[in-house]
Structure 1
Amino acid sequence: MVYDYFDKYIFTCEMYDEEADKILKLILNFFPFDNSVQVIDPEKGKFLLRRYQIPTLNLATLQIGNIVNIFSKLLLITDCAPLTHRTLFKGSEHTFALIKPCPPSMHGKIITYIMQKGFRIVRMKNGKVNKDFGVMLYRNLAGNEKLPLIINYITSGEVIGLELVAPYAVSKWRDCLGATDPKKAAPGTLRYLYGQDQLKNVAHGCNDPQDAAEMLEEYFGYAGNLPRIPFSATYKDCTCCVIKPHAILDGNMGAIIEMITTSGKFYISAMAMFSLTHANAKEFYEVYKGVFTEYEDMSIHLCEGQCVALEIKSEDPSINCVCQFRKLCGPRDPELCRQLYPETIRAKYGKSILHNAVHCTDLPEDGEREVEYFFKLISVHEN
């Protein structure tokens, strides 16, 4: 796409002003021609930042609900101007996708496929669904003699629910799935690649936007203070891994999950996507305050976009899961990893000490605590 020099996208943002102890309502203008931004305080009619080029900023990070870091000032994007919305989000839809019970070694491949097809994953978690959920998911098959068999299958093991966003996401996701029977699915579709038969055909797609909205609420919603589909975390004999925002934006989330599930040493017992506030991130990393000079920058990055928290358990319960999983991740410095431990996660997907792909628990006694922080504390805050 060729941009005119004066083309710009307009976003409304919120920023906490510590000195005034209040939330400021701001305007962020983004100029794609040269990746420059300006920030305006409309109440005072003045610039907080005159037009300045920030090469690392791009449209992938300028999503409603994301936090962007402008010279250490954190701006929460709350909305955008109508013309910006029509230009950037034309035809944008949300749909619900369900990865059916299948070998965990396939999960990373499927997630990579989804992201490579241009979908943005905005919510994700694994879990087990009950018969009532199955009946609602396949209500269009009411009366079909195969329905009990289908419901028995999707309630037989772990599933992964995802909220996907893309232009015309509902129909696009169904096109990506391919025909119900993998033998009849077009080459390159998900079911053609990974499906076994009409029952074990990898994933489910919704029929229309209303169906998608209802299933999203059913899978990700809450009944009172409890999630309708409970988190599957065990909080026992585990370690915590957090896939950082940059790794998700770079499209590496699926590859990292695949490295873990195919290691032969570990399995993912719980996973979910979270959006952290700056206060949440600082609290989670508090053990590093005064220890790492990057503490503040680490906290800022963890809330710059969505992250994925994983509860990791060892295939061999007799070993120390925290210590052994750190070996798979590698040292904090990806460059050191590439020289000494080239097969580690950070060697393959890290870019710097700050953007080093994943966080992993350091101390054996902190594994359960860090998992609880996400799957108990943060999940309640998000409700």
Structure 2
Amino acid sequence: MVHDYFDKFTFLCEMYDEAEKEVKELILNFFPFDNSVQVIDPKKGKNLVKRVQLPPLRLEMLEIGNIVNIFSKLLHIKDCAPATKRDLFKNYERTFALIKPIPASEHGKVITFIMKHGFRIVRMKNGRVSKDFVMQMYRDIDDNQTLPVIIDYVTSGEVIGLELEGANAIEKWRECLGATDPSEALPGTLRNLYGKNKLENVAHACKTSESVKTVLDLYFGFDDGKPKVPFQATFKNCTCCIIKPHVLIDGNVGAILEQIVTSGKFYISAIAMFSVTLTDAREFYEVYKGVLPEYEDMCVHLAEGKCIALEVKCIDSKLNCVCEFRKECGPRDPDLCRQLYPNSIRAQYGKSIVHNAVHCSDLTEEGEIEVEYFFKLLATK
């Protein structure tokens, strides 16, 4: 899309003013033509930040709920103007995708496919589903011979559920999947690329908005504070990996997942997407306060968008998982990684010490504690 110099997207934000000890309501204007921003204090009727270019800021970062750093001013996006909602989210809808029990080595490829086709992942977690869940998901099938076979297959192993967002997402996801039978699916569709047969055909797609709503609640919903599909973290002999928000924007989530599981050393026992508040981020990174000069910037970045938490384990249980996985990630500085460990995760997908693709546990005793922080504490918020 070509943008005019005066095109703008308007967001309603809040900012805590340290000097005046109050929360201010502000307006953030983003001009996509030259990647410039303007921050207005509507009560005072003046600019807090005059229109100026801010190259690090990208339109994908301006989602409701995110925190953006505008020249050290932390703005929490609460809403957007009607015109912005119309222009940015025209025909936007959400759908549910279920990655069936396929080899873990293919999970990354499937997620890369999803992101390259313009879908935004809103929620994501791995799990095991019940017979009742599968019956609800396939309630449009009335073949008494086929349904039991599908139920047995989908409940036979780990699945990954995703809530996807995009323009005409329900129909588009079905088109991206291709025909039920991979041999009949169009070239380039997901089932054509990775499907084996009509049963083992990679993933599932809902047909209607009603079924999307039902299945999203069944997969991501809670009953009496407990998730209907339990998180898979075990909190034993593990390390914690956090895929940072910039990786989602850059579209590299799938590549990182693929690198981890094809390394021959690790497997991912639990995966889930989280929204982290600035308070949460400061608490999680508390051990680095006063130690790393980037502490505050690290906290802000973790709260800037969705992140993905992983519980990672070594295939060889005798190995120290925390130490081994740190080697896979590489040093904190991606530039140093590129010189010394060019195949490490941070060398390939990191951009700076703060935007260094992933966080990984530093000390052996921290692995289980950090996994618990996400999969026990944040998972119930």
TM-score (norm 2): 0.98
The code of the aligned residue for 1:91 comes to N
Q: d(CA) in 2 for partners of 1:86 and 1:217?
A: 26
State the shift of 1:25 in Å: 2.2
1:292-322 Cα offsets, whole Å, 9 max, x none, are 1111111111111111000001100011000
Number of residues paired by the alignment?
Answer: 381
The code of the aligned residue for 1:76 comes to H
Where do 1:28-107 residues align within 5 Å?
28-107=28-107
State the shift of 1:35 in Å: 1.1
State the shift of 1:143 in Å: 4.2
The code of the aligned residue for 2:262 comes to T
- Identical positions, percent: 66
Q: d(CA) in 2 for partners of 1:191 and 1:281?
A: 39
Q: d(CA) in 2 for partners of 1:249 and 1:144?
A: 43
In structure 2, the partner of 1:173 is: 173
**What's the Cα RMSD here?**
1.2
Q: d(CA) in 1 for partners of 2:186 and 2:318?
A: 46
- The answer to whether 1:247 aligns with 2:247 is yes
Q: Secondary structure at the match of 2:237?
A: coil
TM-score (norm 1): 0.97
State the shift of 1:19 in Å: 4.2
In structure 2, the partner of 1:379 is: 379
In structure 2, the partner of 1:236 is: 236
C-alpha contact 2:101 2:157 (8 A) present in aligned 1 = yes
The code of the aligned residue for 2:207 comes to N
State the shift of 1:20 in Å: 4.3
- The answer to whether 1:27 aligns with 2:27 is yes
The 3 A distance-change label for structure 1 pair 143 and 336 is same
State the shift of 1:22 in Å: 3.9
C-alpha contact 2:181 2:201 (8 A) present in aligned 1 = yes
Where do 1:344-383 residues align within 5 Å?
344-381=344-381
Farther off after superposition, 80-89 or 364-373: 80-89
Q: d(CA) in 2 for partners of 1:285 and 1:324?
A: 21
State the shift of 1:45 in Å: 2.7
Where do 1:149-160 residues align within 5 Å?
149-160=149-160
C-alpha contact 2:112 2:253 (8 A) present in aligned 1 = yes
Q: d(CA) in 2 for partners of 1:10 and 1:144?
A: 53
In structure 2, the partner of 1:198 is: 198
Q: Secondary structure at the match of 1:274?
A: strand
Q: d(CA) in 2 for partners of 1:136 and 1:16?
A: 45
**Structure 1 gaps, min length 5:** none
1:4-47 Cα offsets, whole Å, 9 max, x none, are 22111111122233444443322111111211111122233332
The code of the aligned residue for 1:30 comes to F
Q: d(CA) in 1 for partners of 2:71 and 2:64?
A: 20
The code of the aligned residue for 1:328 comes to E
In structure 2, the partner of 1:214 is: 214
State the shift of 1:248 in Å: 1.3
1:151-193 Cα offsets, whole Å, 9 max, x none, are 1111111000001011000000000000000010000000000
In structure 1, the partner of 2:284 is: 284
Q: Secondary structure at the match of 1:264?
A: coil
Where do 1:285-324 residues align within 5 Å?
285-324=285-324
Q: Secondary structure at the match of 2:132?
A: helix
1:27-77 Cα offsets, whole Å, 9 max, x none, are 111111211111122233332222121111121111222221112222222
In structure 2, the partner of 1:129 is: 129
State the shift of 1:138 in Å: 0.6
